[in-house]
Structure 1
């Protein structure tokens, strides 16, 4: 695991994906910081009976991260991250998003235990970038299926540098059994060369479907060029699945439909960030099903045009309009829009 990768791994543990956090302590090889972000936006749709215009929070969170130099090249880190329900209040003001302990070494790699972003997501999440609209199908029961944040997971990752512009990376993950889901495993492999990345991941384990046990598995293939928010960025993800997806759209009804026996997911994004920090993007997403008993065709398909602008490195405005491109479920098309601001701690 080369020094550049270990530095990025520890920085991500300390500060999150946005390079902004408040470091409260740094002494004798120990650090402690607070990070996260809060957002407020107006979100609406073309069908008022579906919900009209709402003021929403766009996945706000706060995290607390500590790191400790263990010596001999090892660094430990621990993170707790919590979703903040600051618009509705009530008893569930905070809910857990992440909670893990990790150990990283520049040669031996990185091991993590707890609720964490999964190795599968390392490969499949490369198009999940814009604030307003992004890769919905990854979040269909993602905590139990390990396609996004994976609950109760032990993982290992490493990145091996083969030259100045070439490295290969891999990851393994095992999840505890949960209600309706047996123990799951996943493996990810890929390569970085210059500004390009290609990757593959396999994710499998049994789940309960209609009072029977079925092997729910996914193959994910992805490729990207560039770095999101820095000039040109292009990325695509294609998944082949059995018993992984439901019939619902995350933006409308949070995946409450029946489980599909076979499905394919696709996500593509092209973005360009100008020198003044204006980032324009277009993304396309669709889920296709061959389950003749439920949906034989398009579950949903959508395309979004989006813009993000950093007024300061910590204060971002964003806007997006998502076109509903239709489905084969006889559901009415419903375009959506979202405009708001985000502040990174």
Structure 2
């Protein structure tokens, strides 16, 4: 197995994504830690009001157990923190899984988790403020709320996954992932339409050499609802990256082709360039574009086009300040003939990693 995959798997299970979690227990092959982050930011836009918001706050608890003979078991629960609202749910589930890792046999995970598809698609999803919105947007294919978790583009509900990899010395490394999601149902945002997500499978491949990586992933399965009946929904994604975000020069690009068969095709892509100074001051610029084509009349509609300039700075190892300004470039006319208004947005905030 690619030792990098093993190291990343155990680190992800034990710590937060960008900072070391608080290890509360470590004895006789057993660990327990708490991690996550909270953030507050001031947001505004041309078409909206200035307000105080959050940026994906979460808390997680992780345990690992050395099983001997090279096997390690890990379990994680992670919840989104809805701490700026009164009433309703204070927590909502983001992750919940059990994993088994062996340095030669690979890693298997069961539960709600980050999908192998995201291993390839997430290379531009790096800045805190503005990045990779099309991966999380249910408006792209107009299915149920939070459909990205049902279709396995990013976090994936009810998934079984397997990852492994091979090292070739100076010739680089090849990593791959396989995953399956079972059939389940969800309501739309208004609780009016029930969407059935039938069995879905996905595969990912990534080749790395000399600090660069090229990847491809495929995700497929049928979707049924009371409006459009059966729809075969396929995703193809290709990505490339160079460097490590937050450490000197980082360049990345991702292209996703969505085949919503008999309904529409959606082409989405994003590119990012970032440079972090030795003092951790990190500058980035990213461009994102989404184009929707209806099969009924071949009409095209640019649903998203934007450029963001962003800066992040680590005041300490676990306190990060960030600011960004996103230029809305989409002033096109939509399919209904309405002229869109550009809605430039900005944010400034701080994130505290646990």
Kept after mapping to 2: 8 A contact 1:260/1:289: no
CA distance in 1, matches of 2:32, 2:154: 26
Q: List alignment gaps of at least 5 residues for structure 2.
A: 138-146, 186-194
Q: Determine the structure 1 residue equivalent to 2:284.
A: 281
Closer, same or farther in 2 for the Cα pair 1:23/1:260, shift >3 Å?
Answer: farther
Q: Decide which of 192, 209, 215 is 1:193's aligned counterpart.
A: 209
5 Å-filtered alignment, 1:131-150, equals 131-140=128-137, 141-150=147-156
5 Å-filtered alignment, 1:217-296, equals 217-243=234-260, 261-291=264-294, 296=300
User: How much does 1:142 deviate?
Assistant: 0.8
5 Å-filtered alignment, 1:35-74, equals 35-47=35-47, 51-74=48-71
Q: Determine the structure 2 residue equivalent to 1:249.
A: none
Show CA shifts across 1:234-279 (max 9, x none): 00000111229xxxxxxxxxxxxxx961110101100000001000
User: How much does 1:29 deviate?
Assistant: 0.3
RMSD (CA atoms):
1.5
Kept after mapping to 2: 8 A contact 1:303/1:323: yes
Q: Decide which of 170, 183, 187 is 2:199's aligned counterpart.
A: 183
CA distance in 2, matches of 1:263, 1:198: 22
5 Å-filtered alignment, 1:1-345, equals 1-47=1-47, 51-140=48-137, 141-164=147-170, 166-179=172-185, 180=195, 181-208=197-224, 210-243=227-260, 261-291=264-294, 296-326=300-330, 327-329=332-334, 330-345=339-354
CA distance in 1, matches of 2:235, 2:23: 39
Kept after mapping to 1: 8 A contact 2:2/2:175: no
Kept after mapping to 2: 8 A contact 1:299/1:328: no
CA distance in 2, matches of 1:186, 1:16: 25
Show CA shifts across 1:266-312 (max 9, x none): 01100000001000000011111121659613111111000000000
CA distance in 1, matches of 2:233, 2:3: 37
Q: 266-275 or 89-98, which moves further after superposition?
A: 89-98
Q: 203-212 or 308-317, which moves further after superposition?
A: 203-212
Given the two structures, how large is their TM-score scaled by the length of structure 1?
A: 0.92
CA distance in 1, matches of 2:263, 2:321: 37
User: How much does 1:163 deviate?
Assistant: 0.8
Closer, same or farther in 2 for the Cα pair 1:182/1:292, shift >3 Å?
Answer: closer
Given the two structures, how large is their TM-score scaled by the length of structure 2?
A: 0.90
State the secondary structure of the residue aligned to 1:182: strand
Kept after mapping to 2: 8 A contact 1:13/1:77: yes
Kept after mapping to 1: 8 A contact 2:46/2:344: yes
User: How much does 1:165 deviate?
Assistant: 5.8
Q: 76-85 or 179-188, which moves further after superposition?
A: 179-188
Closer, same or farther in 2 for the Cα pair 1:187/1:292, shift >3 Å?
Answer: closer
State the secondary structure of the residue aligned to 2:86: coil
Kept after mapping to 2: 8 A contact 1:296/1:328: no
Show CA shifts across 1:139-198 (max 9, x none): 132111100100000000012111146100000010111212111110001101010000
CA distance in 1, matches of 2:277, 2:171: 25
